[in-house]
Amino acid sequence: MADSEHPLLEVQLDVKPAPQSWLDLLLYLLIGFGSFILLSGLVAVLFTEISLGASFLIFLANFICLAGTTYLLGVRRGKITWRGLGLRPLRWQWQWLLIGAGLAILLLPARAVLGLLVQILVEGNLDSLQARSDLIMGGALEFSWIGFFSTLIGAGILVPISEELYFRGLLHTWFWGKTERVWLRVLASGTIFALAHADSISVVAASFVIGLINAYAYERTRSLFIPIIIHMTTNSAAVLLLYLSLAVMELLPALP
């Protein structure tokens, strides 16, 4: 079956990315990561302790910096287009929702085992993973609907959209103009995505898997919809499990 006849490929495949230099990649990395680090540092100065407000501001900083870099340095400079990203004109297919969510759920057990194994082998404890969980949940020690929904909106919706725009839409597109080898493009952008989560080695390992899957899905569809769905499902499931654990501990206080 030809690519143009593939049910997942009913998007514009004839859109060629604009020529980009190594300076463009350097700008994307410096401005994207640099601005996020600066804003996160500002949040840390304003909030001396982890809280729901501080965590949500970090999620918002992630969206502003990464999605903003994609728009300002990519779209506005003519390096990428919404059409080239498969976002305009809107060409939605409902099977994308089933495929994206299904892949994310199927990968959850394997990614969890891989992450924990790497964490124990490299660090010998779960400290960095616990620190990341605390940050995501704003240091919450008990279940609350406000905490759940604010975390779900921030980590489950805003972050996946901004990171897919940035890592797949901006960075992966840059590699299209540098190599014709699909596996090399997928490996390169997946590695960058994984290293961006370097605060926890277990999350690096788990993110590497999702980075590869999302990059390949983007290659096959030339649209960000399936990668965004996979990312949203993955993050939302993590938020759900974290807050479910808090609810269970409240119902069963005798549990360790």
SS (H, E, C) 155-194: HHHHHHHHHHHHHHHHHHHHHHCCCCCHHHHHHHHHHHHH
Residue labelled with tokens 């969510």: 101
219-225-230-233 Cα dihedral, nearest 10 degrees: 180
Residues 131-135 have a mean pLDDT of 88
Does a structural domain hold residue 65?
A: yes
Mean pLDDT comparison of 16-25, 78-87, 124-133, 148-157, highest-scoring range: 148-157
Does a structural domain hold residue 14?
A: yes
What's the structural domain count of the chain? 1
Q: With 70 as the cut, is the pLDDT of residue 150 above it?
A: yes
Among 33-47, 107-121, 128-142, the minimum mean pLDDT is found in 128-142
Residue 16 pLDDT:
62
pLDDT level of residue 2 (50, 70, 90 thresholds): very low
Does a structural domain hold residue 87?
A: yes
| CB-CB neighbours of 143 under 10 Å | 17
Distances (CA, A) of 177 to 19, 64, 171, 181: 7, 26, 11, 11
Q: With 80 as the cut, is the pLDDT of residue 185 above it?
A: yes
CA–CA distance, 105 with 181 (Å, rounded to integer): 29
Does a structural domain hold residue 74?
A: yes
Residues 91-111 have a mean pLDDT of 90
Q: With 60 as the cut, is the pLDDT of residue 10 above it?
A: no
CA–CA distance, 116 with 198 (Å, rounded to integer): 15
Does a structural domain hold residue 95?
A: yes
| Cα-to-chain-centroid distance, residue 213 | 12
Residue 1 pLDDT:
38
Does a structural domain hold residue 41?
A: yes
Q: With 90 as the cut, is the pLDDT of residue 25 above it?
A: yes
| CB-CB neighbours of 35 under 10 Å | 16
Average pLDDT, whole number, for the chain? Answer: 89
Q: With 60 as the cut, is the pLDDT of residue 15 above it?
A: no
For the question of whether the overall pTM of this predicted structure is more than 0.85, the answer is yes
Residue labelled with tokens 């809107």: 90
Among 8-12, 25-29, 165-169, the minimum mean pLDDT is found in 8-12
Does a structural domain hold residue 256?
A: no
Residue 4 pLDDT:
42
Q: With 60 as the cut, is the pLDDT of residue 11 above it?
A: no
Give the amino acid at 4: S
- Tell the burial category of 168 from Cβ atoms under 10 Å away from its Cβ (0-12, 13-18, 19+): buried
Q: With 90 as the cut, is the pLDDT of residue 256 above it?
A: no
CA nearest to 79, candidates 31, 35, 39: 31
Q: Which domain holds residue 91?
A: 3-251
